[in-house]
Amino acid sequence: MYLEINDVKKSYGKDTSFIQVLKGISTSVERGQMCVIQGTSGSGKSTLLNCIGGLDTMDSGSIRVDGREIFGLRPAQLADYRRDNLGFIFQFYNLVPNLTVRENIQVCEYLAERPLGMNDLLDTLGLTEHQNKFPSQLSGGQQQRCAIARALIKNPKLLLCDEPTGALDSKTSRDILMLLEEVNAKYGTTMLIVTHNNSIKNMVHKVLIVKDGLIKKDYVNETRVPAAELEDL
């Protein structure tokens, strides 16, 4: 199993401000699967993603990625883990405004030992003709494509996506989801997609429904629908 999560708990604050966000999460994801983590605001889904990504520390439990335990890693070890294994895509694109599309992607290319081919990636993501533009010259969908390319250039084993379509209209959302679907098929990238959208779960291999810090449903989707056919995005 590529990703193994066992009894993960996470809390914030103390005394009267104490709140337990994750109350014992256990699940697993196979290599190459697309997995949706769905839940309402405050359910704990983004906190879980941040723990997997080493952006947040957990109180207790175990997270193993490709056989490596990340609980208890020191900050420098966590930085190496993120550099060597992960790509991140967020709802807000976090592009460097005074760098071109190509230069924004190169920021992460320089971190990778075995990066993907820049020109092939630009072509796959439909960015070739936009590569010398600055973020302010791009649409929201094009900026998100650039953010995806920046995450993928490292050739990550695990792609963590936090509300990747949250700031996009329905047509652009569909285009981005079709792109993630294509990337998964082409590169075999394992993906975790946090979303509150009820339709996205229909296109992935595995679905986790999180509520009040616990997994309420955990199942393999036997009737996947192509992203192009999703409704109510």
177 and 204 Cβ atoms separated by less than 8 Å: no
Phi, psi of 50 (to 5 degrees): -65, -35
pLDDT digits (tens, 9 = 90+) for 97-140: 999 999 999 999 988 888 989 999 999 889 999 999 999 999 99
**What's the CA gap between 191 and 177, in Å, rounded?**
12
Res 10: pLDDT: 97
201 and 220 Cβ atoms separated by less than 8 Å: no
Phi, psi of 123 (to 5 degrees): -70, -45
- Indicate the Cα dihedral angle 56, 211, 1, 116, nearest 10°: -60
Res 111: pLDDT: 84
Domain boundaries, the chain: 3-229
CA quadruple 48, 125, 118, 140: dihedral sign: negative
Q: Which two tokens stand for residue 13?
A: 């604050």
Res 217: pLDDT: 96
Res 214: pLDDT: 96
Name the residue among 181, 195, 207 with its Cα closest to residue 91.
195
Res 70: pLDDT: 94
CA-to-CA dists, residue 77 to 22, 71, 80, 84, 88, angstroms: 23, 11, 5, 10, 18
Residue 17 contacts by C-beta under 8 Å, 6 or more apart in sequence? none
Find where tokens 């986790």 sit. 208
Q: Does domain 3-229 have CATH number 3.40.50.300?
A: yes
> Which residues, given as ranges, of the chain have pLDDT below 50?
none
**What's the CA gap between 211 and 151, in Å, rounded?**
28
Res 15: pLDDT: 86
Helix (H, G, I), strand (E, B) or coil at 185: helix
Cα angle vertex 155, ends 55, 122, to 5°? 115
User: Cβ atoms within 10 A of the Cβ of 7, count?
Assistant: 13
Q: Which two tokens stand for residue 194?
A: 């946090």
35 and 192 Cβ atoms separated by less than 8 Å: yes
121 and 149 Cβ atoms separated by less than 8 Å: yes
